[in-house]
Amino acid sequence: MHKIIVALLLLCIGTPAVATGEDPPRLKITVFRYIGMNERENSYNDLVMRRLKEKVDDIKREFADSSYIKGLFVERGIREPRSYEEFVDQAKALQAFTGAMDQSRLHTTIYLCKLRGSLPREKVTISTKIAMAEYQELRDLYKMVTLYALAMDAKRLHKTAEAIRFLQKANSLSYGRNVSKGDDTAMLIRAIKTELKNLSGKG
């Protein structure tokens, strides 16, 4: 009897635990400091945070029936990481935003890393004029790239229907957009259309 009990204990100890929880979605967007002219730097860092939070609120309203993105949020990065790619992967972030500004334009680099999908590289850079008329464009571009990242995360989790919904909305934001300004907007739009076509079974 004693030998049977010992054998059972050894069997239990030697049996690895089976993970039952699902891999959670990536819902954290981290914004790091934008570098630029000192007297304007803080105001434009605040602008980026406002536009991103507005974009996240828009997405939550438009997809209110989806439990997938209820926890989507924006946070401010405390310190510059040694590598943005490492930060995104280790922090399980959806995206990391950083950038710079010059006299006339705001340049934003968004790191998607393993969620790049059909993008040829792990980051995209978008550029907008620093003018009141451009603020809606800035929010729309941020929204488009975030919807794409959400779609790629949903694809990673095999939630194809959710991924298609995000891509359809991102694609609608691309209509009539100026893609001749030398940034990665055209590349992003091509990736959106490619992923939408593939996931919709039309490829």
112-161 tens-digit pLDDT? 999 999 999 999 999 888 775 567 788 889 999 999 999 999 999 999 99
Domains annotated for the chain, with CATH where assigned, are: 24-199 (3.40.50)
Distance CA 149, CA 51 (A): 17
pLDDT of residue 180 exceeding 60, the answer is no
Higher-scoring residue by pLDDT: 88, 130: 88
Task: For residue 91, name the pLDDT band (cuts at 50, 70, 90).
Answer: very high
**Amino acid at residue number 21:** G
pLDDT of residue 16 exceeding 90, the answer is no
Helices of type H across 34-184: 38-62, 84-91, 135-156, 160-173
Q: What is the pTM of this model?
A: 0.84
Going by the DSSP 8-state scheme, the letter that residue 114 receives in this structure is G
Residues 8-27, mean pLDDT to the nearest whole number: 52
- What number of other Cβ atoms are within 10 A of residue 178's Cβ? 8
Q: What is the largest CA-CA distance in the chain?
A: 83
